[in-house]
Amino acid sequence: MPVTRNMNELNYMLQKELRKAMTITAKKILADMYKETGNFYAGGEPDMYVRTGALGDTPTTTAITVSGNAMSFEAFLNTQHQYTTGKNPNMLQVLRLTNDLKTDQPGIGRLLESKGSPRFWDRVLQQMEKTYDDVLSSFFTRA
């Protein structure tokens, strides 16, 4: 890191490095979310319906925002999709069911037949924390 002449320069340099770290973190977390939602479909073909792949389209991250000395982004699964099959569940209902793999939910039907990989969101949350820690520690280490 170059030598700074004052606190403003130091603050600018730190924010620049933090933005790089946060950009890398957001990209890795998005990739982790796509991997887990994609792996949900790895459990075989369902017996009751044809998969649309919509769950695999839900991973989302927002742009990095700066507020004062804080920098952040959000990572989530987009719940705006509305299915047009079965009982027309919305994506939030499907996400809850696919993560918990509950066998019976009124108005939705039996999801266990999807043969998907349950608890994917729990794995994503664990991986998010690890990714965040790993990336930021690679940019900022204690002397």
Domain ranges in the chain?
Answer: 7-139
Quick one: pLDDT at residue 40? 72
CA separation, residue 57 to residues 31, 64, 80, 95, 96 (Å): 12, 21, 11, 12, 16
The strand pairing partners of 109, in sequence order, are 105
Show pLDDT as tens, one digit a residue, over the chain (143 residues). Answer: 567 688 988 888 899 999 999 999 999 999 999 988 887 766 666 555 566 777 788 899 999 999 988 899 999 988 887 776 667 677 777 777 777 655 455 544 444 444 556 677 888 889 999 999 999 999 988 76
Quick one: pLDDT at residue 29? 97
Q: Residue 81, by phi and psi: left (phi above 0), alpha (psi -120 to 50) or beta?
A: beta
Place of tokens 């949900």: 40
Quick one: pLDDT at residue 96? 75
Intra-chain end-to-end CA distance of the chain, in Å? 13
d(CA 57, CA 78): 8
d(CA 97, CA 81): 15
Assigned token pair, 117 = 């990989």
Interacting residues of 143 by C-beta distance below 8 A, sequence separation 6+: none
